[in-house]
A and B are shown apart, each in its own frame.
Chain A
Amino acid sequence: MDYMVFKQQDGIAIVEFQRKRIDAALAVKLRDDLQTLINQGNKKIAFNLQHVEFIDSSGLGALVSVMKSLGGNQNMALCQVKDAVLTVFKLTRMDKIFVILPSEAEVVARLSLS
């Protein structure tokens, strides 16, 4: 999984995407790799999108699929989302279903509470 860096903190899995784009070319592999992480026992996942400059509906769909597998937005959160990426979340109303916070520390704190 060279496109993601993975670490653990306070029982939270933190995934930092290393690529600039989460799109149809990556979406299926992304969904499958994250499902593997979940199957390995990671039940709360924070995503750091600081490097991501673009997401399309396929990328969003993969993230929604992961969030459903985790049981909802109490077990998943995003941070450092760029404005261009947030635009797509807003167009699809998915800024209402994803927890999106400014920093990694805040998402870890949020997921630790749930």
Chain B
Amino acid sequence: MAISNHSIRLSIKASLSDVSIVGVVCRALSAEFGLSAVECTEVELAVVEATTNIVKYGLADCPEADIHLSVSYQVGILEVTIEDKGIPMPDEELAKADGSVFDYDIEDMDSWPMSGMGLSLIKAVMNTVEYHTNSQGNILKMVKNTVPPSS
């Protein structure tokens, strides 16, 4: 892990047991950068959901493959970039995650979701989410706008 100004880069293997590491690190970094407790939770959640998806779908059965995260912060803007070389997320998946998975009927138990919430959660807590894929791999970029801590 290398630290330069307000940016850090770290890598994990594509294993669900390692996902918590990046979640905890990103939460701690968010706190260090002055984000509120709720914002820290939201950043950790977004990172964990995104990384879990890569492990489960992009790099399934590739536990030795690498996933790289970069976290940078400048006043009021936290950016997390996640890179992998696994199977790309289908183009329509991010667009489909419009939060409608949370529009279930509270009175209808059959409508309560048990899966498929990850991308919608990421989009709910991060201000911008972009995904790019090419022959060199996949890049997910998430940005959270925050209120800078008063000095």
Contacts and interface: CB of A to CB of B under 8 A. Distances in A.
Which range holds the interface residue count of chain B? 20 to 34
Contacts of A96: 106
A93 to B, nearest CB: 5
Contacts of B48: 23-24, 54, 56
Interface majority SS (helix, strand, loop, mixed), chain A: helix
Interface in B68-118: 102, 104, 106, 109, 112-115, 117-118
A18 to B, nearest CB: 15
A83 B42 CA distance: 12
A84 B52 contact: no
B106 A24 contact: no
Interface string B19-30: 110010000000
B25 to A, nearest CB: 13
A7 interface: no
B70 to A, nearest CB: 21
A56 B52 contact: yes
B37 A54 contact: no
B113 A64 contact: yes
Contact of A56 (B38, B45, B55): B45
Given A23-B52, A24-B56, A60-B117, A54 B112 contact: no
Interface string A56-95: 1110111011011000100000000001100110011110
B112 A68 contact: yes
23 contacts: A21-B20, A23-B16, A23-B19, A24-B48, A24-B52, A25-B17, A25-B20, A54-B48, A56-B52, A58-B52, A60-B117, A61-B115, A65-B114, A67-B109, A83-B37, A87-B42, A88-B45, A91-B102, A91-B125, A92-B113, A93-B104, A94-B112, A97-B106
Given A61-B114, A64-B113, 12 more contacts: A24-B55, A25-B19, A25-B20, A57-B121, A58-B115, A64-B114, A68-B114, A87-B45, A88-B41, A92-B102, A92-B121, A93-B104
Interface of A: 21, 23-25, 54, 56-58, 60-62, 64-65, 67-68, 72, 83-84, 87-88, 91-94, 96-97
